[in-house]
Amino acid sequence: MNVLLLCYYSLDSDKFASILDGSNWLQYISSILNAANTIVEKSLKKGVAALVHCSDGWDRTTQIVSLIQMMVDPHYRSIEGFEILIEKDWVAFGHQF
């Protein structure tokens, strides 16, 4: 089911919960956060370098790398830092928004 359908239902609607569950969106977000967290933990605690590249190199790669930078560097958690992050890792690489 299309996640955009969620815009038509209120959060307390049974239909909203059903569409959200059927979209697997929460599992997708969980896997992205877990990947970023794993890389940060291995990098900071064990000094391991990481190369991040997902199947098509567009969505998950950029999402994971952006989250890692936000987790490690407080500058990217500011408005100005977030703007720089979007410009350098999304716009400059031609992300297909």
Residue where the block lists tokens 């500011």: 78
Instruction: Round to whole Å and give the CA distance between 70 and 26.
Output: 20
Is 7 a catalytic site residue? Answer: no
Instruction: Round to whole Å and give the CA distance between 74 and 16.
Output: 34
Annotated catalytic residue: which of 33, 54, 84, 86? Answer: 54
Of 45, 26, 95, the C-alpha closest to 65 is 95
Residue 96 structure tokens? 């297909």
Contact yes or no for 15/9 (Cβ under 8 A): yes
The set of catalytic residues is 54
